[in-house]
Structure 1
Amino acid sequence: MTLLAPPWNDLVRVPENRSAVRAVWQLGRALEQSRRVVSPLLLHGLPGTGKTTLVDALVQAVTESPLGHTVQIVAANDLDSRPQEGEDDGTYPELAECDLLIVEDVQHLPPRSADLVGRVLDLRTRSRRPTVFTAHAGPAALLNVPRRLASRLSAGLVVPLEAFSPKSRLKLLRFHADRLKIKLTADALRWIADQPAGGFRPLLGMLQTLRGPARKSMTALTREQVANLLANDARPPAVADIVAAVAASFGVSPKELLGTSRLKTVMLARQTAIYLARTASKLSLPAVGREFGRDHSTVLHAVRKVEELLTKDADYAGTVKGLRTEISG
């Protein structure tokens, strides 16, 4: 029986991602069957080429299987606070002993943490536990990564993800439009696919904008209707307004929220603001990261944390709902 079927059915295979989909799928199958797999696996490509989608599918498949595998996902720039020589704050074993470790955006790895990553890789290799890295470029182009670690990455499986061609963008849009039950004419789909969005994520944002009007329409939306709807889409709230509202709600200053404080209240306020900037302002992960001075994997981590907390804490969910209403005017 294949335990990894559901998430992979949501992945659209196109020439630009076919090798990466296969590599991630094989890694998941190897975990399922307790087989050895080539590790580390490095997925590299520009923002919007599908690295996050592949990682999410792998994590979902592994965590939802009945085998009880454990997964740790960490943004490379967060490794600066991980234990160094002679230190032990309880986080080091989590990296070395989990069944699957994913390190996102390794190009942002702090130089002083390169040795830590090397030690973790040594331990994981000896215990045959797979590790996945993501990056914006291949090992040779990771100028901030020490040569020794780059060589370790090169010795594993390195798989590029290319920018989607117009034909692939159209195929991806058609799949997601069907999944979201958005009826669009062929001309409308082609028009969206041809938009200079700089990656696929903004195109998904366009589909989300069209979701409401499409439900109300008895017929498929035409190219003209789509163009008008997107042109007249309500202006999303500014990030500065989100930061101000969240800071006031949590009793911190905007400067603290945008800073580096790791106080629990400040960190939760920051994660909440990042979540609202991502979901209410319709900004891409890299765009939100630029607003908050973080990389896109840190943004994704914050979004995941908030989504998890929303399901567990009714009071917090009420606070976020109130903030969403406030910033929407």
Structure 2
Amino acid sequence: MRSVEYPSTKSRLEARRGPARPRRRVVATLSPDEDYAMLRGFIMLVVCWAWRIPQTELIATTRCRAEVAWARQVGMYLAHVSCGMSLSESGRLFGRDRTTAAHACRLVEDERDDPAIDASLDALDAVLRVGRILVRCCEGA
């Protein structure tokens, strides 16, 4: 019995359409500025969601209520510790000076002795780390 070679599906398609073209990337790469802007927006979103406060209160020039000030301090802490922003960048994110961001980081770090606060900060840190991974995936890195 003779063996018969059947053309593969791929070769039949190539015969009809020509050689296969490389696939287009579905996700566009982000510039470093767009990457940074996306991360900044994500930090603000997470902090606003966690404390259920509008972004306008978070970046207000006044201190606002104590819970808003605490949320802002936690945001600066997370931006610095979890996302690796400098104190200047994390302060600028919330419309504050680098010395204010340093003060916020010291306050939040002191409060981490409380197990409930430590657990909530760990959860927010995990959310931000996942967000950074997603930004990198969108970036194509």
Return the alpha-carbon distance in structure 2 between the equivalents of residues 261 and 300 of structure 1. Answer: 16
Q: How does 1:125-144 map to 2 (within 5 A)?
A: none
- Is 1:326 paired with 2:130? no
Give CA deviations for 1:57-98 in whole Å, capped at 9, x if unaligned: xxxxxxxxxxxxxxxxxxxxxxxxxxxxxxxxxxxxxxxxxx
Return the alpha-carbon distance in structure 2 between the equivalents of residues 279 and 239 of structure 1. Answer: 14
Name whichever structure is richer in helix by fraction.
2
Displacement of 1:261 = 3.6
Displacement of 1:258 = 1.4
Provide the residue aligned with 1:297 in structure 2: 99
TM-score, normalized by length of structure 1? 0.27
Percent identity reads 30
Higher relative contact order at CA 8 Å, sep ≥6: structure 1 or structure 2? Answer: 2
Return the alpha-carbon distance in structure 2 between the equivalents of residues 317 and 258 of structure 1. Answer: 24
Which structure has the greater CA radius of gyration? 2
Give CA deviations for 1:261-293 in whole Å, capped at 9, x if unaligned: 431110110000000001122111112222221
Amino acid at match of 2:119: G
Name whichever structure is richer in strand by fraction.
1
Provide the residue aligned with 1:250 in structure 2: 51
- Is 1:283 paired with 2:85? yes
Return the alpha-carbon distance in structure 1 between the equivalents of residues 40 and 123 of structure 2. Answer: 17
Return the alpha-carbon distance in structure 2 between the equivalents of residues 292 and 323 of structure 1. Answer: 17
Which runs of structure 1 show a deviation greater than 3 angstroms over 4 or more consecutive aligned residues? none
- Is 1:265 paired with 2:67? yes
Return the alpha-carbon distance in structure 2 between the equivalents of residues 292 and 302 of structure 1. Answer: 11
Provide the residue aligned with 1:82 in structure 2: none
Return the alpha-carbon distance in structure 2 between the equivalents of residues 244 and 272 of structure 1. Answer: 13
Amino acid at match of 1:256: E
RMSD across aligned positions (CA): 1.8
TM-score, normalized by length of structure 2? 0.61
Displacement of 1:327 = 1.5
Contact 1:261 1:267 in 2 (8 A): yes
Return the alpha-carbon distance in structure 1 between the equivalents of residues 128 and 85 of structure 2. Answer: 15
Return the alpha-carbon distance in structure 1 between the equivalents of residues 50 and 90 of structure 2. Answer: 20
Give CA deviations for 1:221-270 in whole Å, capped at 9, x if unaligned: xxxxxxxxxxxxxx787122111111111121121111124311101100
- Is 1:316 paired with 2:138? no
In structure 2, the gaps of 5 or more residues are: 1-34, 131-141
Contact 1:310 1:317 in 2 (8 A): yes
Corresponding pairs, count? 94
Return the alpha-carbon distance in structure 2 between the equivalents of residues 290 and 268 of structure 1. Answer: 16
Return the alpha-carbon distance in structure 1 between the equivalents of residues 73 and 79 of structure 2. Answer: 10
Contact 1:239 1:281 in 2 (8 A): no
